[in-house]
Amino acid sequence: MERTILLVDMDAFFASVEQQSNPALRGKPVAVMGGGKRTVVTTASYEARSFGVRTGMNLHEARQACPELIVVVGNNDKYTHTCTELKKIYLRYTPLVEIYSIDEAFLDVTGSEHLFGGPLEIGQRIKREIRKRFGINATVGIGPNKLIAKLAADLSKPDGLRWIRPHEVSEVLEDLPPGELWGIGPRMAAHLRAMGINTCGELARTPTGILRSRFGITGERLKMMAMGRDETPVISDSETGEVRSIGHSMTLPRDIYSMSEIESYILILSDRVAFRARRYGYAGRTVSVVIRYKSFETFSLQRKLTVPTDDTHLIYRVAKEIVRPIRLREPVRLLGVSISSLIKTTAQQCLFDEQKKRRRLLETVDGINLRYGSYSLLWAAALQAESHKGVISPAWRPEGVHKTL
């Protein structure tokens, strides 16, 4: 059946929220960044973008692009709160709302569109309500599936509203470079160009066999995408898919070489991962460690356990065993710990049972003190405080396992 999907995408979300809460920032080039020294631009306001300020730039680069740039340290609570309120608006139009990231949501309005005078009218109303309630602009893309809705938004931002109707899809795609599509990144686009494929039209006409032999199963999907086909459903939070991994990583305040320092960070990271797993009722059978050297060379190592765990100390122990044999070739810049091969722990270990949570937290704290002496805990706590000033990740969710504090 033909569907109608909306993508609501906040324009420069974090920066817009900051401009709204502080009128002095309005109309000015603003960059939202983390608080630490080694941080990057998370979101630039459109004023800042006009100077060339881009997501991912470090402070130095951003200031070079725009000397009068106003840097604001991100405040995750504000964005999370706004995101939660935005969802309430969406739910007035359909129960099928997928909060894709903190600033993007898919709405499947198939079936409810006629109640509100059609998809464009819904898009218009949502934009208006967001502007009125929060004073920020949103772009709404509408299409017969998520891929096309996303494209419609990308092609019309900022403050856009565009409906690509089913019969318009092939025309819109004909001359579009494949890299503009959601899911085709720079590397894939370069591969395609090397094959002489420069537009979605050309990609759609490339024989499946050729794409298949070159890219495997991905090749078939590429062709489907170039034809504007996408069957993936809008998944509301209540039926959200299984979580695959839980992880934490951090760029260290300074590069380190000593194994004992590395291990102390591994402990903090293990604890954050385990805490989040326990809180949301997951345990993992695979423990992974990622290391980034000063030179930015990055690699990961993992180990599979016989039983899943959500225990801080077990994860820590395994992570240590993984790291210990490594002969470091350079100082370490970033460390990460994650667990995967997840299972759901039993429902009885109730998700939001505050008492249990607190008890387990205490057990954790006790455990650390018992095993490593309170010195470890104090040190860990101090470092944790320091690292909390890090960058806000747009992938953070307002609720669920992937909400990280």
Partner DNA sequence: TCTGGGGTCCTAGGACCC
Sign of the four-CA dihedral 166, 171, 172, 175: positive
Instruction: Say which of 104, 242, 263, 354 is annotated catalytic.
Output: 104
The footprint of DNA on residues 188-227 (CB under 7 A) is 188-189, 216-218
The answer to whether residue 387 forms part of the interface with DNA (CB under 7 A) is yes
Of 181 and 368, CB closest to DNA: 181
The answer to whether residue 63 forms part of the interface with DNA (CB under 7 A) is yes
| CA pair distance 247, 288, nearest whole angstrom | 9
Of 302 and 376, CB closest to DNA: 302
Rg (CA), the chain: 23
Of 113 and 335, CB closest to DNA: 335
**Angle at the Cα of 335 from the Cα atoms of 329 and 337, rounded to 5 degrees:** 125
DSSP string computed for 341-387:
EEEEPPTTS-TT-HHHHHHHHHHHHHHHHHHH-HHHHHHHHHHHHHH
To the query of whether residue 85 is one of the catalytic residues in this protein, the response is no
CB of 238 to DNA, least distance (A): 17
The answer to whether residue 317 forms part of the interface with DNA (CB under 7 A) is no
Considering only the stretches 21-29, 53-61, 113-121, 156-164, report the one whose residues sit in contact with DNA under the rule CB under 7 A.
53-61
The answer to whether residue 244 forms part of the interface with DNA (CB under 7 A) is yes
Residue closest to 364 by CA, chosen among 405, 313, 316: 313
Considering only the stretches 129-137, 178-186, 202-210, 363-371, report the one whose residues sit in contact with DNA under the rule CB under 7 A.
178-186
The three-state DSSP-derived secondary structure of 244-259 is CEEEEEEEEEEEECCH
- Which residues partner with 309 through β-bridges? 284
| CA pair distance 171, 298, nearest whole angstrom | 42
| CA pair distance 398, 405, nearest whole angstrom | 10
Binder among 295, 359, 374, 382 for DNA (CB under 7 A): 295
The answer to whether residue 251 forms part of the interface with DNA (CB under 7 A) is yes
Using CB under 7 A, list all residues that contact DNA. 34, 37-40, 42, 55-56, 58-60, 63, 100-104, 150, 181-189, 216-218, 241, 243-251, 276, 286, 295-296, 298-304, 333-334, 336, 338, 340-341, 387, 390-396, 401-402, 404
Catalytic site positions:
104
